[in-house]
Structure 1
Amino acid sequence: MAAMPEMRASDGDRDRVAAALREHVAEGRLTIDEFNERLEAVYQSRTYGELARLTSDLPEIDLHRMPAATEPAQRAQVAQPGKAQGSLRSAWTAWAGASAISWMIWLIATVASGHFIPPWPMWVMGPWGVILLLKTISDAGGRSRGGA
């Protein structure tokens, strides 16, 4: 059923119109003063007709296809190079902890058995350590070339 102009608008309807107005400001169709006036009128509106009048001189905006919603998240990821460095540090800490526990288990098992047991912890720490080392080197090389 199509919304008739005299039907009452919900808070969600008002929020959608406010989001559209924000997008129009971002695209330069409205000044900040015009936006503030219209935004105040949006939240005082009671019907669909009142909301429609506030955007009647503006083109339709599909709020479901706004690319601006994903760009700030991508910029935030690029702007946090320390976050990647912290996760790499956490990976090395996990590697060191698992390696230490593995070596302690090996040592206790070797002493308790009374004979030499081949050092199996190398199979735990070796491949994992090589992968971490390659990742650390590639990250350090990217930072020295000016990459994030």
Structure 2
Amino acid sequence: MAATPEMRASDGDRDRVAAALREHVAEGRLTVDEFNERLAQVYESRTYGELATLTSDLPDIDLHTLPATVSSQSRPRPRRGTQAGLKAAWGAWATASAVNWVIWLIVVISSVHWVYPWPLWVMGPWGAVLLVGTIFGRDQKRS
């Protein structure tokens, strides 16, 4: 049975129209304010006809072949979690090393004697472990 404009729309129908509106915002056809207005109307709509009027001035979108979906399937994704974790670990190491060197420098300036550069013992082993993890912990393809 073909859907007529007077037929009642389901929650799934409203969700599909909302997804299409989100895609139109992403492509720049709608502003955020226009999207918010139409989205409120989508969830107040009762019939197919009311839903159709909300997208009548917009081109049809096939939600199954969106550009973002096609491009993400065609190329392998980098492991961003690993990269972000590695950057965070190096950032923590650099911050802790800098704080230790500043403390050491203050002690050297305020004392009359030369003070052994103890921050080397803080940053050395930690940095060595991070370096080994960075070099040998890269994405390795598993067979």
TM range (shorter): 0.5 to 0.7
TM-score normalised by structure 1 residue count: 0.51
Q: Which runs of 5+ in 1 are unaligned?
A: 87-135, 141-148
Q: Structure 1: which amino acid aligns with 2:57?
A: D
* Equivalent residue number for residue 116 of structure 1: none
Specify the alignment match of 1:104 in structure 2: none
1:55-114 alpha-carbon deviations (Å, 9 max, x no partner): 000000011111324657899x4252627x99xxxxxxxxxxxxxxxxxxxxxxxxxxxx
Let me know the Cα RMSD of the aligned residues: 3.5
Residue identity matched to 1:28: G
Alignment of 1:15-94 (within 5 A): 15-69=15-69, 77-78=77-78, 80=80, 82=82
> With structure 2 as the length reference, what TM-score do the two structures score?
0.53
The CA deviation at 1:138 is 8.0
More helix by share: 1
Runs of 4+ aligned residues of structure 1 deviating over 4 Å after TM superposition are 70-75, 136-140
Q: Distance in 2 between matches of 1:29 and 1:47?
A: 24
Equivalent pairs, count? 90
Structure 1 residues 138, 13: closer, same or farther in 2, change over 3 A? Answer: closer
Aligned-partner SS, 2:64: helix
SS in 2 for 1:40: helix
Q: Using a 3 Å threshold, how does the CA distance of structure 1 residues 7 and 80 change in structure 2: closer, same or farther?
A: same
Identity of aligned residues (%): 69
